[in-house]
Amino acid sequence: MKKLKLNTILILLIAFFSEEAIGQIMPNKDASYTSANANFINDAVFMTNKEVSYVSVNVSFINDAVFMGRKDSIATPYLYPSILYHNKYGFYASGSLSYLTASNEARIDLFLISAGYDFSIKKLDGDISFTKYFFNDDSNNVISEVASDLTASLKYDFNVVNLGVTANTYFNKNDSSDYFLSTEISHDFVSDNQKFQISPTAGVNFGTQNFYEEYYINNRYGSGRSGQGSGQGSGGSTQIITEVGIQESEDFNLMAIEFSLPMWYVYDSFTFSFLPALVLPQNEATLVVDDVVVEEDLESTFYWVFSMSYQF
C-alpha cells in the first residue's frame, strides 16, 4: 500500500476538523484491544448520568487485538472482565484483566488499572486518564512493551452530529515514548425510548511506532536483550538475529483508517453492546533485519467486540 501524500493528509485533517464535519470520539481506556473503541460500551449517550456515583462491572470478548492497524501474526482473542467506579464529580477508576483464549496459549495476558477525570460543559465532553499496564512476559500483543499511557479526549455535540479528537502519549518499557492523535466522525441514531443506539463511525489515527519496533525486537525476533534475539528460518533451522529496527519508528505518520458500527441496548441495569469494525492500516514499516531491508506487508483487518455490563 502506497503512502498517502502530505496534501491528502491535510485534506483529511481539514475535513475532520471543519465546522461541517460530523462525529463522536470514544475514549481509549483499554488501548490493548483496539485503536479507539475498546471501552465504547461506556459512551452511549443515554447511559451517562453524571449526577450520581456508580459502579459498573463488564465482561467483553474481542476476536483479535488490533492497535493502530497493527496486530500479531497469530490471532489474539481476549476475554476481559473489568470494573469501573465513577464519582458524581467526574473522577473515576477502573481495572481489568485480559484472558487470552487461544487454545494453545490460554493464560492471563494483561492486567491494567486506570484513573481519570471527565466533564461536560453544555455540548462539550472531555476526559483525561492515566493507565498502567502489566503484561505477561510471554505476551505477543503488539503493545506488550508499553508500560503506561496518558490520554486526553474532547467531543463536541453538534445536535445532529458529533466531532471528537483524542491525544495519547504511550510510555514504553525501554524509556522511549510514542505519540498518537486520533479523530473520529459519527452520527448517532437513538430510539425513542432511549434504550437502543447505533453510531456509524469513521476515524483516522496518526502516530509514531517505537512501540512497534520494540514488539518486533522482543516478540517477533527473540528476547530483545541488547537488540539480540533469534528466529526460525526455513525448514525449522534457527536463524540468529543480531539487529532489528524500524526506519520510521520516530516519524509521526498516518497509521490507520477505521470504520465501525458500535451499537448498544439497555435493559434495566444491563447494557449489551456490539462493535464490528474494519481497520485499514497505512504506511507499512520498513524493517531492517541484520542490514537486510524488508518492507512490511500489512493487511486490512475485520474485528468485533461483544460486551455485557451491569451498573449498580
pLDDT band at 89, cuts 50/70/90? very high
Which tens digit of pLDDT belongs to each residue from 13-38?
A: 433 333 333 222 233 344 334 333 44
pLDDT at residue 221, as a whole number? 67
- The answer to whether the pTM exceeds 0.85 is no
Distance CA 99, CA 229 (A): 27
Cell 486490512 sits on residue: 300
Mean pLDDT score across all residues of the chain: 80
Amino acid letter, residue 248: E
pLDDT band at 194, cuts 50/70/90? confident
Which tens digit of pLDDT belongs to each residue from 144-159?
A: 999 999 999 999 988 8
Instruction: State the SS3 of 252-305.
Output: CEEEEEEEECCEEEEECCEEEEEEEEEEEECCCCEEEECCEEEECCCCCEEEEE
pLDDT at residue 35, as a whole number? 35
pLDDT at residue 265, as a whole number? 95
Among 43-47, 186-190, 191-195, 302-306, name the one with the lowest average pLDDT. Answer: 43-47
pLDDT at residue 56, as a whole number? 93
pLDDT at residue 126, as a whole number? 93
Which tens digit of pLDDT belongs to each residue from 210-222?
A: 998 888 888 776 5
Which tens digit of pLDDT belongs to each residue from 110-149?
A: 999 999 999 999 889 999 999 999 999 989 899 999 999 9
pLDDT at residue 239, as a whole number? 52
Report the Cα–Cα distance between both ends of the chain, in Å, rounded: 47
Mean pLDDT of 234-240: 45
Rg (alpha carbons) of the chain, rounded to whole number: 20
